[in-house]
Amino acid sequence: MTVTQKVLIIDDEEAIQDSCNQVLKREGYSVRGATNGAEGLQHFKQETFHVVLLDLRLPGIGGMEILKLIKEENPETPVIIITGFASIESAVEAIKLGAFDYLAKPFSPEELRVIVKKAVKSRDIYFENLSLRKALEDKTQFDMVVGSGAAMERVLDIVRRVSTTDSTVLLTGESGTGKEILAREIHKHSPRSKFPFVVVDCGALVETLFESELFGHVKGSFTGAFETKHGRFEVANGGTIFLDEISNISMNIQAKLLRVIQEREVTRIGSTKPIKVDIRILAATNENLADCVRQGKFRDDLFYRLSVVPIHLPLLRDRKEDIPLLVDHFLNKYNRKAKKKINKISPSVIKALQQYDWPGNIRELENTIERAVVLAPGEEIRLDDLMYHGITTCYSMFSSGTGEHHTLDEIEKEYIQTVLQAHHQNRSHTAKVLGIDRKTLLSKIKKYNLD
Do residues 355 and 342 touch, judged by C-beta distance below 8 A? no
Task: Convert 351-369 to b/e letters by CB count within 10 Å (16 or more is b).
Answer: ebbbebebbbbbbbbbbbb
Cα pseudo-dihedral 12, 15, 21, 24, rounded to 10: -110
Distance CA 167, CA 181 (A): 18
Do residues 437 and 427 touch, judged by C-beta distance below 8 A? no
Q: What is the per-residue pLDDT across 108-154, written as a single tens digit (0 to 9) for each?
A: 999 999 999 999 888 888 777 766 655 544 444 334 444 667 778 88
Report yes or no on whether pTM surpasses 0.85: no
Comparing 193 with 170, the larger pLDDT belongs to 170
CATH class of 140-314: alpha beta
* Fold equal for 6-123 and 140-314: yes
**Architecture of the 6-123 domain:** 3-Layer(aba) Sandwich (3.40)
**Mean predicted confidence (pLDDT) in 167-193:** 90
CATH class of 317-447: mainly alpha
Cα pseudo-dihedral 147, 153, 157, 158, rounded to 10: -90
In the predicted structure, residue 13 carries a pLDDT above the cut 90: no
Q: Cα angle vertex 57, ends 54, 60, to 5°?
A: 100
The DSSP call for residue 269 is B
**Mean predicted confidence (pLDDT) in 90-106:** 83
pLDDT at position 138, please? 45
pLDDT at position 115, please? 93
Where do the structural domains in the chain lie, given as residue ranges?
Answer: 6-123, 140-314, 317-447
Q: What is the per-residue pLDDT across 360-405, written as a single tens digit (0 to 9) for each?
A: 888 888 888 888 888 888 888 887 777 545 554 444 444 444 455 6
In the predicted structure, residue 187 carries a pLDDT above the cut 80: yes
DSSP-derived 3-state class of residue 182? helix
Residue 258: pLDDT band (50, 70, 90) is: very high
Comparing 382 with 53, the larger pLDDT belongs to 53
pLDDT at position 176, please? 84
Distance CA 337, CA 362 (A): 19
pLDDT at position 76, please? 85
